[in-house]
Amino acid sequence: MEGYIQTLSEGKTKRYVQFLEMTDDPKLMAQYRFWHSEAHHWKEIREGIKAVGILEMELYMLGNRLVMIVDTPADFDWQEGMNRLATLPRQAEWEAFVAKFQGCSPNARSDEKWQPAERIFHLY
């Protein structure tokens, strides 16, 4: 295993870890990967994520399970950020588009789909 290089932010940050179970269909999972690739992502979605104050975001896939790791400034208000994100260009269209992979309502916002994880250990 090689690991992943991380960019370190100045100052304190908050980390959010969330889970989502996708539709268990290899073809849909391959398409989901495709639409999240550097070459095929929707530019407006990436810009919107940054515009609401998110510093870093990563998605990991294991089978049909997804893990999202989000780093923000320490004073970031999650609900305020998600409310703003939902109003940005193409965000509702994106959520409806990815709903077929995620097995949820096309009207569901990102913060309604992803389930927050509880941190139970931290190595200092």
User: What is the spatial distance between Cα 86 and Cα 89, in angstroms, rounded to a whole number?
Assistant: 9
Q: What is the dihedral of CA 80, 83, 89, 93, to 10 degrees?
A: 140
pLDDT in tens, 63-110: 999 999 999 999 999 999 999 999 999 999 999 999 999 999 999 999
User: Which residues are CB-contacts of 67 (< 8 A; sequence separation ≥ 6)?
Assistant: 17, 18, 19, 59, 60, 61, 117
Specify the length of the chain in residues: 124
Q: Residue 24 — very low, low, confident or very high, per pLDDT cuts 50/70/90?
A: very high
Q: Model-level pTM?
A: 0.91
